[in-house]
C-alpha cells in the first residue's frame, strides 16, 4: 500500500511554495516517512526551522512547528529541548541558513550533543533570495553574486558537524530518496545531536546558471557523485576525486546534554 503522507500534512496548506523539480519536497517526504517509522507522536514532536525555501517545511506538517529567523533554528530548538526534554525536536533548514548566518548556533548545538535531529537540505545555494552563493556553493560555480565563478572555498557540512561534536552524522542525496528516511530515522533514534545532510538541487537558481539542462541532469549528478562509505574504502584517492561519501559517516555514544543537565539539577537539589 502506498504510504499515506496526508496523515502528517496539514489540511489546506498545500500547494507548497517549492518550484517544480526542487529537491526540498523529496527531502520532506523522507522526513515524514522517518517520523512515521519511528512512531513519533505528533503532540510530542516539534519541528523547528530558520528562513529560506527549505525552512518553509514546518508550515506544511502537522506538529508543534516553529518557523524562526534566518539561521537561528538550532538556538530556538535548544530552548525547546532544554525546557521540555521529553519532546522530540527536529530541525530543518537550508545550507545557507545552517552554515552561514546560523553557523555559530549549528556548531554549538553539535558541541553540546543535545538530543535533536538536524536535517540540512543542501542545495549549495541561497535559493529563496534568488541564487546568491552560499558557503556550500562549489568553488568556481556561478551564482547571482559570483558571475565570474565562485572564488570561495566550500564547506563540507558533514565534516563540520563531526568536527564540532555531533555524535551521529550521515549524508545522502535527493536522488537516493529511500535512503533519506532510513538515515533520518536512525538519527531520530540516536540519543544526541544527529545531523543528516541531504544534498539536493535548486533548478531555478542554481541549475539554470550552471548549465544543467534539466532537473534530470541535476539528479544524474547527485547519482554520479555519491559513493557509499563501504564502497569508498575500496577506492583510490584518484577515484574519489569529486565524489561525496554517503551513508552513516560517524556515530558515537556520548553523554547527551539534557541528561547532563538533569545531573546538574540533581546535584543542585542535594542528591
Partner 1 sequence: MAKKVALLQGNEACAQGALYAGCKFFGGYPITPSTEVAEVLSVELPKVGGKFIQMEDEIGAMASVIGASLTGSKVLTATSGPGVSLKQELIGYACIAEVPCVIINVMRGGPSTGMPTGPGQSDVQQAKWGTHGDHAAIALVPASCQEIFSETVRAFNLAEKYRMPVQVLFDEIVGHSRERIEFPEPGELEVIDRQTPTVAPEQYKPYDTSFGDVPPLAAFGSGYRFHVTGLNKAQDGFPTTKASLVDDEQRRQLRKVDAAQAEIEKNEEYLTDDAEVVIFAYGSTSRSARYAVNELRKEGIKAGLFRPITLWPFPEKRVAELAKKAKAIVVPEMNLGQMVLEVERVAKGDCKIGFLGRVDGEPINPGQIIAKVKEVK
Ligand X SMILES: Cc1ncc(C[n+]2csc(CCOP(=O)(O)OP(=O)(O)O)c2C)c(N)n1
Q: Which of 205, 210, 246, 258 binds ligand SF4 (CB under 6 A)?
A: 205
Cα 183 vs. chain centroid, distance in angstroms? 11
Q: Is 202 in the site for ligand SF4 (CB under 6 A)?
A: yes
Q: Which of 28, 35, 46, 53 binds ligand X (CB under 6 A)?
A: 53
Give the start-end residues of each E strand in 76-115: 88-94
3-state secondary structure of 171: strand
Task: Give the integer Cα–Cα distance in Å for 169 and 184.
Answer: 10
Using a 10 angstrom Cβ sphere, with 0-12 exposed, 13-18 middle and 19 or more buried, the burial of residue 151 is: exposed
Site for partner 1 in 41-100 (CB under 8 A): 42-44, 46, 48, 51, 58-59, 62-69, 72, 75-84, 86-87
Which CB atom, from 143 or from 185, has the smaller least distance to Mg ion? Answer: 143
Q: Is 210 in the site for partner 1 (CB under 8 A)?
A: no
Q: Which of 66, 161, 70, 52 lies closest to 114, judged by CA?
A: 161
Q: How near is the Cβ of 12 to partner 1 at its closest, in Å? A: 9
Task: Give the integer Cα–Cα distance in Å for 8 and 220.
Answer: 30
Q: Is 97 in the site for ligand X (CB under 6 A)?
A: yes
Note whether 218 and 210 are within 8 A (CB): no
248 to each of 2, 39, 99, 194, how far by Cα in Å? 27, 21, 20, 11
Note whether 130 and 186 are within 8 A (CB): no
C-alpha cell at 121: 537540505
Give the start-end residues of each E strand in 189-238: 193-199, 226-228
Note whether 175 and 223 are within 8 A (CB): yes
Q: Quick one: what does residue 69 bind among Mg ion, ligand SF4, partner 1, none, with the CB cut-off 5 to 8 Å set by partner type?
A: partner 1
Q: Is 127 in the site for ligand X (CB under 6 A)?
A: yes
Q: Which of 55, 68, 113, 123 binds Mg ion (CB under 5 A)?
A: 123
Looking at 74-82, 90-98, 174-182, 220-228, which segment touches ligand X (CB under 6 A)? 90-98
Site for ligand SF4 in 127-166 (CB under 6 A): 127-128
Looking at 11-19, 96-104, 185-193, 247-255, which segment touches Mg ion (CB under 5 A)? 96-104
Residues near partner 1 (CB under 8 A) are 13, 42-44, 46, 48, 51, 58-59, 62-69, 72, 75-84, 86-87, 104-105, 108, 261, 264-265, 267-269
Interface residues with ligand SF4 (CB under 6 A)? Answer: 18-19, 22, 24, 53, 123, 127-128, 202-205
Amino acid at each position: 500500500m502506498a504510504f499515506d503522507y496526508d496523515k502528517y500534512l496539514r489540511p489546506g496548506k498545500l500547494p507548497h511554495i517549492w518550484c517544480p523539480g526542487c529537491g526540498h519536497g523529496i527531502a520532506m517526504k523522507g522526513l515524514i516517512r522517518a517520523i512515521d517509522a519511528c512512531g513519533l507522536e505528533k503532540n510530542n514532536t516539534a519541528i523547528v526551522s530558520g528562513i529560506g525555501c527549505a525552512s518553509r517545511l514546518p508550515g506544511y506538517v502537522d506538529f508543534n512547528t516553529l518557523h524562526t529567523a534566518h539561521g537561528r533554528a538550532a538556538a530556538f530548538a535548544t530552548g525547546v529541548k532544554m525546557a521540555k526534554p521529553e519532546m522530540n525536536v527536529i530541525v530543518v533548514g537550508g545550507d545557507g541558513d545552517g552554515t552561514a548566518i546560523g553557523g555559530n548556533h549549528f556548531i554549538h548545538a553539535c558541541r553540546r550533543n543535545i538530543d535533536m535531529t538536524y536535517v540540512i537540505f543542501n542545495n549549495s545555494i541561497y535559493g529563496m533570495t534568488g541564487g546568491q552563493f552560499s558557503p556550500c556553493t562549489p568553488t568556481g560555480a556561478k551564482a547571482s553574486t559570483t558571475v565570474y565563478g565562485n572564488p570561495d572555498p566550500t564547506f563540507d557540512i558533514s565534516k563540520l558537524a563531526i568536527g564540532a561534536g555531533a555524535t551521529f552524522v550521515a549524508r545522502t542525496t535527493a536522488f537516493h530518496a529511500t535512503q533519506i528516511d532510513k538515515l533520518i530515522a536512525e538519527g531520530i533514534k540516536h540519543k544526541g545531536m544527529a545531523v543528516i545532510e541531504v544534498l539536493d538541487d535548486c533548478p531555478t537558481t542554481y541549475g539554470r546558471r550552471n548549465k544543467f539542462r534539466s532537473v534530470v541532469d541535476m539528479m544524474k549528478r547527485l547519482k554520479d557523485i555519491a559513493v557509499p562509505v563501504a564502497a569508498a574504502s575500496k577506492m583510490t584517492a584518484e577515484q574519489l576525486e569529486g565524489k561525496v561519501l554517503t551513508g552513516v559517516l560517524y556515530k558515537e555514544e556520548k553523554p547527551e546534554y539534557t541528561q547532563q543537565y538533569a545531573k546538574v539539577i540533581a546535584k543542585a537539589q542535594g542528591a
